[in-house]
Amino acid sequence: MRAVELARVAAQAEKLHLQCMAQRQLRRAVFGAGAAVFGLGLLCWAQVIVFFALERPIGAIWASLVLIVLNLLAALILAGVAVKSVPGPVEREAAEVRQEALGQMKQAAATAALVAPIGRFVVRRTGRRLGNKRATALSLAAMAARYLGSRS
């Protein structure tokens, strides 16, 4: 009874933790979007200021062309950085660990699925000679030893 109560309390605490974390992430996203809007506005005004600063010495067409080239260069540099972004060593190792854990989980599930049918088969075969309880215990002990021995 105590374990069930503790599990219920733990589940409620986890639920509360996840709700608070989701609310915090939502606030971060909203404020980040607001900052992005104002940052974009700032970038637009910076473009206007550079345009007006270049318009007198070189003319409106050339000022526009300079801004287009500068924006294109910035876009190409940022795109190049984004394309060259490869997984780091921690990300690669985490993926390897995940794959290994999934493989071991599948193997354990397959082995567990075979234990009961094999156990029944062995008990039927040896149960007549040894007695059902003793045969069951010996069969399960042998399978456990073999299974655990191959894991190490």
Looking at residue 49, its pLDDT comes to: 92
**Model confidence pTM above 0.85:** no
Average pLDDT across the chain, whole number: 81
Q: How far is CA 118 from the centre of its chain?
A: 37
* Residue indicated by tokens 């008990």: 123
Give strand ranges (E) for the chain: none
* Residue indicated by tokens 């191959």: 150
Looking at residue 53, its pLDDT comes to: 92
Q: Using an 8 Å Cβ cutoff, are 28 and 11 in contact?
A: no
Two tokens at 91?
Answer: 């990300």
Two tokens at 17?
Answer: 């933790």
Determine the straight-line distance between the first and last CA of the chain, rounded to whole angstroms. 36
pLDDT digits (tens, 9 = 90+) for 126-146: 655 555 666 667 667 776 776
| Residue ranges covered by each domain of the chain | 1-85, 90-152
Indicate if the pLDDT at residue 37 is higher than 90: yes
